[in-house]
């Protein structure tokens, strides 16, 4: 089972990219997690959106198409999802064929605040409704005070959080298998 992980941060030492690295290490047998690169996705401009979309958008869209499921790791910016993540999703939603429709997904997120991206995750869920993505409901992974749970490179050091991620990935596997039947 191939999972495409999309982190909503471009920061090299991002806690959310750290969550994706932790997820890669914790993936259950039979699951491979690949991290998407959204750093080269241009800002959405309708003038560049016609019969085709910019090459980085099409390349990422291919990876979404090939994936059996998606894994989002989102920060929280002003109680919502970061612009870079929304921008990447918006561009890919313009690729003909509805690449997101029917995809299973899991959502996790790390922030420095006390709510652990719960508000941004629920905004992301709303966006996914229109794209017809099927996010896993439970277990949820909200990583609060991420600066205390990750080291200076953004790598997750907290055992309880690793456990939560492992459980979510197990549930995603079952969910994706169920939807793929
Ligand atoms: C513009 C901006 C808005 C932010 N808003 C929130 C917020 O609403 N809630 C929160 O918990 N943290 C907020 N933060 C702090 C982020 O949690 C923190 O920058 C986090 O490290 C971002 O994730 P990353 O490490 O993956 O880049 C904000 C940071 C920025 C730059």
* C-alpha span between 79 and 120 (Å, rounded): 6
Residue span of the structural domain in which 35 resides: 2-180
Q: CATH no. for residue 134?
A: 3.40.50.360
* C-alpha span between 55 and 66 (Å, rounded): 17
Pick the residue whose CA is nearest to atom 6 on ligand 1. Answer: 77
Pick the residue whose CA is nearest to atom 29 on ligand 1. Answer: 77
CA of 174 to the centre of ligand 1 (A): 31
Report which ligand 1 atom has the smallest distance to the Cα of 144: 11
**Over its length of 181 residues, how does the chain's per-residue pLDDT go in tens digits?**
999 999 999 999 999 999 999 999 999 999 999 999 999 999 999 999 999 999 999 999 999 999 999 999 999 999 999 999 999 999 999 999 999 999 999 999 999 999 999 999 999 999 999 999 999 999 999 999 999 999 999 999 999 999 999 999 999 999 999 999 8
**Residue 54 DSSP symbol:** -
pLDDT tens column, 49-68: 999 999 999 999 999 999 99
Look at the chain and report how many structural domains it folds into: 1
130 contact partners, CB below 8 Å, separation of at least 6: 93
What residues does ligand 1 touch, defined as CB less than 6 Å away? Answer: 9, 11, 14-16, 75-79, 111-113, 146
CA of 104 to the centre of ligand 1 (A): 26
CB 87 within 8 A of CB 44: yes
* C-alpha span between 25 and 50 (Å, rounded): 39
* C-alpha span between 106 and 8 (Å, rounded): 14
CA of 134 to the centre of ligand 1 (A): 26
């Amino acid at each position: 089972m191939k999972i495409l992980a999309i982190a909503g941060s471009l920061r090299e030492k991002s806690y959310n990219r750290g969550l994706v690295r932790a997820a890669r290490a914790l993936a259950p047998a039979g699951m491979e997690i690949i991290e998407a690169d959204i750093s080269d996705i241009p800002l959405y401009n309708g003038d560049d959106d016609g019969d085709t979309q910019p090459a980085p958008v099409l390349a990422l869209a291919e990876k979404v198409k090939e994936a059996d499921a998606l894994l989002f790791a989102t920060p929280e910016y002003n109680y919502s999802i970061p612009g870079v993540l929304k921008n990447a999703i918006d561009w890919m939603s313009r690729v003909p064929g509805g690449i997101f429709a029917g995809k299973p997904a899991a959502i996790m997120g790390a922030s420095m605040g006390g709510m652990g991206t719960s508000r941004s995750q629920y905004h992301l869920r709303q966006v996914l409704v229109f794209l017809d993505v099927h996010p896993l409901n439970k277990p949820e992974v909200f990583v609060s005070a991420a600066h205390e749970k990750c080291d200076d490179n953004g790598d997750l050091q907290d055992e309880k959080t690793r456990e939560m991620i492992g459980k979510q990935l197990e549930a995603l596997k079952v969910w994706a298998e169920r939807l793929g039947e």
